[in-house]
Amino acid sequence: MSWLITGGTGFVGQALTRRALAEGKDVRLALRRPFEQGAAQGLMVGQIDSQTAWQGALEGVDTIFHLAARVHVMNETATDPLTAFRAVNTAGTLNLARQAAAAGVRRLVFLSSIKVNGEHTAPGRPFAANLPGRPEDPYGQSKWEAEQGLQGLARETGLEVVVVRPPLVYGPGVRANFAALIRAVHRGWPLPLASVTGNRRSLVALDNLVDLLVTCADHPAAAQQTFLVSDGDDLSTAELLLRMASALGRSPRLLPFPPALLRLGAATLGRQAVVQRLLDNLQVDITHTRQTLGWQPPITVDEGLRRTVAGLRTP
């Protein structure tokens, strides 16, 4: 039986595809446009929404990894972002699940987001898998609605649904703010973050996330469950930068600066969201994941960072 991966050309999807092929799985990729990905079979399905026809891609499929999504963007251009997110992330997901159930697919593993739970946690109170969703932006809302819809479909059809909510994912090929931080440390730029030692952020290395996704494909206890995932080693922003520097073989230039003044400066410049991600807490509790699946992150944060910087252009 085959695995169908949507979003197989993305950051997580390519890593999952490589892992699946290395393990000898029969892998199909649902694609919007032609793309070469090793020995995986590519199937064109076009835009993912409520009207996508999946029948041809689902024949003989046992497990679906649904990674494709309209992702969170810093500079939104849609006039109605929630409607745009719902079209792909909610309606598109539920359309796939309905057709999967009708085609006899056994299990659907849905890559959601910790944004379903919210944007930050109180000190010492990490998000847990049993907490209700409290999304604060359209992307998180669309993912939460998709999760709820999938739970209903699972009850109606018997389709085994597994939901995985990762926090920030890093690894070879990471982009955006995480890559920018690595480059700043590599170039020796002074960063006013030495005093940001009291917060804690959960991250997940790409290889750890992929390992959990693969575990969720066949583990009998995973069906109808929601799992949070992380490296199991939460870091302050200052500690993260120190470990980045260690992975790079560099000495970081971290300057002490009061976090309150950083927040004030960010508000003045309209950069509150960026600074909040550097200063606030966002922790996840993976106890349920560990106990239910017997799963442990296979690599450490330090190894994840080493692999990340090895695959990143830092000059």
What's the pLDDT score for residue 297?
Answer: 98
pLDDT tens for each residue of the chain, 315 residues long: 799 999 988 999 999 999 999 999 999 998 876 655 555 677 777 788 899 999 889 999 999 999 999 886 656 677 888 999 999 999 999 999 999 999 999 999 999 999 999 999 999 999 999 988 999 999 999 999 999 999 999 999 999 999 999 999 999 999 888 999 999 999 999 999 999 999 999 999 999 999 999 999 999 999 999 999 999 999 999 999 999 999 999 988 999 988 888 888 777 777 777 778 888 999 999 999 999 999 999 999 999 999 999 987 655
SS3 assignment for 25-64: CEEEEEECCCCCCCCCEEEECCCCCCCCCCHHHHCCEEEE
Same domain? 175 vs 146: no
Same domain? 184 vs 125: no
Same domain? 100 vs 189: no
Same domain? 188 vs 105: no
Same domain? 133 vs 188: no
Residue 155 lies in a domain: yes
| CB 86 within 8 Å of CB 48 | no
Domain end call among 114, 146, 165: 165
Same domain? 74 vs 96: yes
Task: Compute the chain's Rg from CA coordinates.
Answer: 20
Q: Nearest to residue 140, comparing CAs of 120, 156, 119?
A: 119
CATH code for the domain in which residue 187 is found? 3.90.25.10
Spatial CB neighbours of 77, under 8 Å, sequence gap ≥ 6: none
Among candidate residues 127, 139, 170, 178, the one labeled active-site is 139
Same domain? 103 vs 185: no
Same domain? 25 vs 118: yes
Same domain? 6 vs 69: yes
What's the pLDDT score for residue 192?
Answer: 94
What's the pLDDT score for residue 210?
Answer: 98
Residue 224 lies in a domain: no
What's the pLDDT score for residue 47?
Answer: 86
Residue 57 lies in a domain: yes
Specify the number of domains making up the chain.
Answer: 2
Same domain? 179 vs 289: yes
Same domain? 154 vs 255: no
Domain end call among 142, 165, 188: 165
Full domain range(s) for residue 252: 171-204+232-315
| CB 162 within 8 Å of CB 216 | yes
Same domain? 178 vs 304: yes
Q: Does the active-site annotation cover 170?
A: no
Residue 227 lies in a domain: no
The pair phi, psi for residue 201, each rounded to 5°, is -125, 135
The structure tokens 């609605």 sit at 145
| CB 182 within 8 Å of CB 248 | yes
Q: Nearest to residue 249, comparing CAs of 310, 195, 296, 299?
A: 310
Residue 212 lies in a domain: no
Spatial CB neighbours of 96, under 8 Å, sequence gap ≥ 6: 6, 48, 52, 54, 64, 66, 108
CATH code for the domain in which residue 135 is found? 3.40.50.720
Domain end call among 165, 196, 220: 165
Residue 58 lies in a domain: yes
Residue 11 lies in a domain: yes
Residue 217 lies in a domain: no
